Amino acid sequence: MKQIITLCSVTFIMFMLFINSCSERQGITSVYKERPPAVLTYGTDIKPYLDAACATTCHSAANHFGSYDLSSYSSGAFGGVLGNGTDATSNAIAGDPNSLLITKLAGGHQSVSQPNQDMIYQWVVVDSLKEN
């Protein structure tokens, strides 16, 4: 009889531990229910912003202030967003947080808000300059 009570007690304790561990797992998995940030692409996210804020007024093929043309992905006299300008320094290097495009914006650029700087940073560093 004593063995039956001990066995029932052990079984009950094991059952309670199992139930408790399941509820903890649900807490952990709920963290992964959120979606990761969307992948940003040049064609969908970056080009429309650059055209509106940068390329039209200052950094276009016709008006390349600072010798930077941001009106294309990788073409034109100065090589577009990926190009070298006239200083032989690539504007953007996939995965590199020290890319010229990032450091120029981080240094304070009057027409680029912090959320837009963050968007460009994600595109260069996290999304590795995805074109489309």
DSSP code of 103?
H
Q: Concatenated DSSP letters for 37-76?
A: PPPP-IIIIIHHHHIIIIITTTBSSSSBGGG---SSSS-S
The structure's pTM equals 0.64
d(CA 48, CA 68): 17
Average confidence (pLDDT) per 10 residues, the chain, 132 residues: 73 62 42 61 88 78 73 71 66 86 82 86 88 83
